[in-house]
Amino acid sequence: MEQASARESARPAYALGAFPRTAAEGRMPECRVPEQARGERTGCERADGRPAEGDQAARGEHTHSEPPAPRAVVQRHSVRGQILDALRAALVDGELVPGQVYSAPALGARFGVSATPVREAMQRLAVEGAVEVVPNRGFRVSERGPRELAELAEVRALIEVPVMLSLARTVPAHRWSGLRPLAEATVTAAAEGDRAAYAESDRAFHRAVLMLSGNEQLVTVADELHRRSQWPLVSGPATRRADLLADASEHTALLDALVSQDLAVVQALVREHFAGADG
């Protein structure tokens, strides 16, 4: 039961030339007063009709230096960040096979980018434990078994169950209502059988719940454990749409229990959720 983000943001499109281009950085146009316009009202005059600074200087009047107008802030999209998102989606989908070695140049050609951002993204995944560095070859996708998944579920339960029980006692009903769209997003992704989109929306839902605790460190740790629990097993079967739907339905049921402050149901649902394949 977890994650909430729009489907488009869950899976960025990657094709040759698909990355967004950076907008050109612009400046505020300078205010120039032509000689023949002196004494006439121009577009550079102040709102009170007084001449602009350039006109004052031409007449020998005293002017005050003012800081230049700030440049427009340009949002620069990170190619490495986009590649990292794509690789994470490929991990969840099973497109990157556990035990297989992938080279940065080969993956770069697949995404239509150079090897550098792929290598940087893979190094980040290595820190997270998703892949292992293979000298002079590339990166091997980590092999995980059922025991590791069970251990992750146990640790997540130890962290999230007491937090959710505490929140159920203190958070007013209207705050939980704001999380309803996030829960519904997991159902939508599950109904479409989109495992990567479901993984994102699933994690977003759980993150939003835990953020109500106000403990940012807890949210960060829980989110990392959650991400690791979503990587496929070394020889696990493909997740069926019915399994995703069953998992997603637990999100809405959990919200209902949190609103009604039914602590027994909250605890049972969260534990059952973590015991599932993708909880």
* pLDDT at position 232: 74
Report the distance separating Cα 264 and Cα 127, nearest Å: 38
pTM of the model: 0.66
Distance, C-alpha 88 to centroid of its chain = 11
* pLDDT at position 237: 55
Using alpha carbons, select from 55, 91, 265 the residue that is nearest to residue 195. 91
Q: Do 158 and 256 form a contact (C-beta atoms < 8 A)?
A: no
* pLDDT at position 79: 86
Structure-token match 């121009």, residue found:
42
Local confidence pLDDT in tens for the 279 residues of the chain: 444 444 444 444 443 333 333 333 333 333 333 444 444 444 444 444 444 444 444 444 444 444 443 333 333 358 888 999 999 999 988 889 999 999 999 999 998 999 999 999 999 999 988 999 999 999 999 988 889 888 999 999 999 999 999 999 999 999 998 999 999 999 999 999 888 899 999 999 999 999 999 999 999 999 999 998 888 776 655 567 888 888 899 999 999 999 999 999 999 998 888 876 444
Question: Helix crossing, 115-128 with 79-93: angle to 10°?
Answer: 60
Between vectors from CA 70 to CA 69 and to CA 73, what angle results, nearest 5°?
A: 150
Using alpha carbons, select from 152, 90, 143, 95 the residue that is nearest to residue 121. 90
Tokens of 192: 């479409």
